[in-house]
Amino acid sequence: MLRVVRRGMIAAVAAGVMITLLPPWRLRVEGLSMLPGLQPGSVVRIGWRERLAAWWGALHRYDRWVVRAPNGGLAVKRLAGLPGERIGIRDGDLLVDGEPLLTPPPVLSELASAVPASATRGGDAHVRLAATATVYDDCPQAVGERRLLLPVVDGGAWGVVCGGRGESRWWVRASLGGRSVTWRLHRGGTVAVVCGRLDGRFVAAAWPVGGTPPHRPDGALAWPAGIPAAWPVNLAWESTVAADPFTATLATGGAAGGAVLDCGLWRDLLHRPPAGGGTEWTIDHAAVWVLGDNPAASRDSRSWGAIGRRLLVAPIAVE
């Protein structure tokens, strides 16, 4: 018994050493299934740490993985369902064990798309945003696509706001869909704010702006770095509240004034059930459920079903 364990340990260590000596893989993305964050031509990297994670690492929802598709090819998908869970799609939302799954702010910054909007300013410190047309789950990069577009109901506003010079007490207010949230700040500087309707909730967050926004492809959002891991404001979106999250106002003020430096509207992705029907799936304890970030252009677990963990090649890093 001891000899077998020692041999197994030696083999595992040897395999780990061999993996660390291998050069990283660099894979070029093809197709539109991971828009807007990964566009055709985007390069993803798999290093030795990622390959070790595929063997022994814990699985984390929302991580993007290189997976082996049923046809044997490689694809990039996002981990949406974990072993033993029940996954569903209802009204454009993803459900886990019957409850809508609330997308965390950092993941939303990868999934959300910019919405064309008009901005009406009432001076530097106040701006009103409104979508220029009904918001659908279209894909501008898919030239000549032919499919039924569906209206998107999840979205909101974002902005970058600064307090007046030397201001020690100032405030920022974001309002949309009959909801309003105000942050009272006690230190001068610049903050980013995001608010909206998301997965049946009213969500909002504000955080200090530091450094430059991360690089994002065209059509993706470039919210400043430092976005919180969870929503500080997370309230039920009551049925009596107006349903349009694409009309919003951002305002700031204080003794020395302030300004809205930049702002815009965003929309969440809209989950679509497969064309062949089915809105609920149960995942085996040795399997996972994966999705593309652009549901209308992705073949994933909606058509494949759950995939065995052995088909997970490695989580990715984006170059």
Q: Could you read off the pLDDT of 247-268 as tens digits, one per residue?
A: 999 999 887 778 999 999 999 9
| Model pLDDT, residue 219 | 56
154: nearest Cα among 103, 85, 106, 200: 200
Q: CA dihedral in degrees (38, 41, 42, 48; nearest 10)?
A: 120
253/146: higher pLDDT: 253
Reduced 3-state DSSP string for 227-245: CCCCCCEEEECCCCCCCCC
pLDDT-based confidence at residue 241 (cuts at 50, 70, 90): low
pLDDT-based confidence at residue 10 (cuts at 50, 70, 90): very low
* pTM of structure: 0.87
Whether the CA torsion 35, 37, 41, 43 is positive or negative: it is: negative
69: nearest Cα among 299, 279, 295: 299
| Model pLDDT, residue 143 | 75
Topology of the domain comprising 104-267? Jelly Rolls (2.60.120)
Q: Residue 150: is its pLDDT beyond 70? A: yes
**59-63, 160-164, 220-224, 266-270: least confident range:** 220-224
| For range 148-156, the mean pLDDT | 92
Q: Residue 7: is its pLDDT beyond 60? A: no
| Model pLDDT, residue 29 | 92
| For range 275-302, the mean pLDDT | 92
pLDDT-based confidence at residue 16 (cuts at 50, 70, 90): very low
Question: Taking a C-beta distance cutoff of 8 angstroms, is the pair 50, 315 a contact?
Answer: yes
Class of domain 11-98+273-318: mainly beta
Q: Could you read off the pLDDT of 294-319 as tens digits, one per residue?
A: 998 899 999 999 999 999 999 987 77
Composition of the chain by helix, strand, coil, percent to 5: 15, 40, 45
| For range 76-102, the mean pLDDT | 95
Whole-angstrom Cα distance, residue 32 to residue 214? Answer: 21
Q: Could you read off the pLDDT of 31-45 as tens digits, one per residue?
A: 999 998 898 999 988
| Model pLDDT, residue 116 | 94
Whole-angstrom Cα distance, residue 162 to residue 192? Answer: 9
222/246: higher pLDDT: 246
Domain definitions of the chain by residue range: 11-98+273-318, 104-267
